[in-house]
Amino acid sequence: MLNISENSIKDSVHISDFRSNNLLKKSRIKRLSLWLISSLMILLAICLFLPWTQNISAKGYVTTRSPEQRPQAIQSVIAGRLENWYVQEGDFVQKGDTIIFISEIKSEYFDPELLTRTSEQIDAKAQSIESYNQKAIALQNQFYALQEAFNLKQDQTLNKLVQARNKISMDSIDLVADKINLDISKNQLSRTKELYDKGLKTLTELQEKENKVQSASAKVNVQENKLLNQKNEFVNLTIELNAIEKEYADKLAKSQSEQQSALASKLESVAATSKLRNEFSNYNERQKFYYITAPQSGYIIKTLNKGIGEMVKEGTDIATIMPEIYDVAVEIYSKPQDLPLLNINDLVQIRFDGWPAIVISGWPESSTGVFSGRIVAIDKYISANGYYRILVSPNKEKKDWPEKLSIGTGANAFILLNEVPMWYEIWRQLNGFPSDFYNSEKENEKEIKTKAPLKSVK
């Protein structure tokens, strides 16, 4: 209807009342539906052959791989009484800045002149060491003097023994000579007596011979006594030599014993001095612990809920510090059934809490707001939550992670595996097969290729 004429029949004639118009309208609807269904089927068939990246989803949080870069507690090495706080929560401190000052609570360290008095004790012990050293030297000299005196006395006595032995030898010879003279005198007396009896010798001559016999006999007796005296003197000298050896052995042993006692006392003083020096060092180092300082530069994020005047024990956490500089990583947890599919250096796509992102897990190149990483460590033992811990570091080949990432920020990770057609992934999901179930041969080929050059190098 063009509605050209002023006499319109629009209100009196309705097209829907005509059967031909209704048949024509139904035919158009069917054709449109068939066209749409066919297009969708073709599009779905094409999509089934599109590449799909297999992935494993896991949740975790931001951490750091270096233990010294993680939040750490500042502890008190010694027990003490809180005297003054120098920081508040949220303050930035440099390494060595004072966090808190504590005072002493143990009675053995109360003396304010403790270091001075200990130093005086060390000096006194050092002087006693020198005294014992001088005493030991004097006793050593005394020992040498006694040894020389013993040698001289021994040589003197030995010389007397030689002289006595020589005198005994001489007296023995004289005794033999006197005995021979006595025998001669007796023979002369016997012959003179015979001649006297015959009247050939006078009485005077007989008496002279008897007198010679008496004189010779007296000489023999005197010489025997003299020889006996010399032998007795030799025996006395031998006894005296033994007595001298025993006397000086006792004196030398006593001198050596006193020398060893002096050395022992010296060593005791040395040990006592070392102990005092150790105590002095301990006292000196202990005073340094009154000021608890920051072990590294960072932010004070938590302090101990104790006020001025309260006591703290040794090993008590005073505050928690977050290092200023830290290298971020992501700690995620994988199910045990997914662990065999993961390897070091596998790519991971990460979405951080607080950073808007659109994630298409199967097409990582189409995702926005996500960051790339690589697996650097996989635990070999299961965690308490029943999952295996995996560490992911930033992928330096891709864009850098956000600078304002904080330790503990939540993260959703998608560990990327092999690329497969979508129909294969749908079929695998419907059958419940694990990822890469049919790719074990390819992995073995890769292992052989990596090992072959190593063998050839050898």
Percent of all residues in the chain with a pLDDT value above 70, rounded to a whole number: 85
Q: Which residue has the tokens 């309705």?
A: 14
Residue 336 falls in which region: left (phi positive, over 0), alpha (psi -120 to 50) or beta? alpha
Cα–Cα dist 330/374, whole Å:
10
Single out the residue of 397, 406, 386, 399 nearest to residue 345, CA to CA: 397
Tokens of 308: 């001025």
Residue 231 falls in which region: left (phi positive, over 0), alpha (psi -120 to 50) or beta? alpha
Cα–Cα dist 224/174, whole Å:
9
Single out the residue of 415, 413, 406 nearest to residue 351, CA to CA: 413
- What is the average pLDDT score of the chain? 81
Q: What is the pLDDT of residue 392?
A: 93
Give residue-wise pLDDT tens across range 163-217: 888 888 888 888 888 888 888 888 888 888 888 787 777 778 878 888 888 888 8
Q: What is the pLDDT of residue 331?
A: 93
Q: Which residues of the chain have pLDDT under 50?
A: 1, 440-458
Tokens of 401: 């992670």
Q: Which residue has the tokens 């390819």?
A: 442
Q: What is the pLDDT of residue 40?
A: 85
Give residue-wise pLDDT tens across range 270-279: 888 899 889 8
Q: What is the pLDDT of residue 445?
A: 41
